[in-house]
Homo-oligomer: A and B are copies of this chain.
């Protein structure tokens, strides 16, 4: 059971919320110039503070040795947003502590010594913050972090100096994309120093119509402020998406219904599905669910969005697959899941 198996608050539009805290040990060089021995020290300290000390969290956490994994397993973690593409490439000095439901992932020796990431389903950055904060406390009980009274936490990249906090919200915005309104939304939000980017692809070409909204600057603002700010913006975008959905239902219900059911028909019948087409079709069906047109549990669609990514698919099949083989297995998997887990379609 993963955190993304449940539908969270505002789960029609918001897939997930993520909190990321960047921290560095004051007595070790930043990871880009750290020695192998020093990198092991950083890992050891994290393990001691989080696994060995016997907090209430400890039994649910486990250390994963990235070096012992194959490329596919590391890539599968990237697809689940549990580690960064950067750590998947430069894993020799890195480490990972993971919570058993995938809701907490602590990257060690990525850009900073420690990057605490906490996830929550739907629009719920506060819940993710609470657990990130708790982990931060557990770490700080033992260790001293690089900290400046005036600036705050010191990080490898200046944009993270301050709280070291990044709040991200992942949103599914098919109606804004289809009407082209997404461009306005992105433009307006970028003016506020907030980043909007497609998760799979760039700009309006974002595959699956999935976007991540996150703060850029952390300096000079409190954690609660930053979280509140992102929540507020997410609510604005969410309302824009919902009212665009209402408008589409009024103006072109049948065309949308046609699109939704065609997507469902293809997903449940195709024998070959590329990753890109799958994202596009899942997005259409997901919009149909939000419009009350088709009865597929939204958590099933959320799960398919992740499990049909190339590495997770290969992990599920238990072996490396050539791209064309992947497209076949993907089609089989999607068909099977939709057949067994979709409602009265």
- A interface residues with partner B (beta carbon < 8 Å): 254-255, 257-258, 261-262, 264-272, 328, 331
Query: Cβ of A328: which chain B residues have Cβ within 8 Å of it?
Result: 254
A266 to B259, CA, bound (A): 10
CB of A3 to closest CB in B, whole Å = 32
Determine if B254 and A262 form an interchain contact, defined as CB atoms under 8 angstroms apart.
no
Query: Can you sample 24 A-B contacts with CB below 8 Å?
Result: A254-B271, A254-B272, A254-B328, A255-B272, A257-B271, A258-B270, A258-B271, A258-B272, A258-B331, A261-B269, A261-B270, A261-B271, A262-B265, A262-B266, A262-B269, A262-B270, A264-B269, A265-B265, A265-B266, A265-B267, A265-B268, A265-B269, A265-B270, A266-B266
What does DSSP make chain A's interface, helix, strand, loop or mixed? helix
Protomer copies: 2
CA distance A254 to B327 in the complex (A): 11
Q: Which of A262, A265, A266, A270 has the most CB of B within 10 A?
A: A265
Task: Give the complex CA separation of A60 and B89 in angstroms.
Answer: 80
Chain B residue with Cβ nearest A345: B269
Considering the chains assembled together, what is the distance between the CA atoms of A255 and B272 in angstroms?
Answer: 8
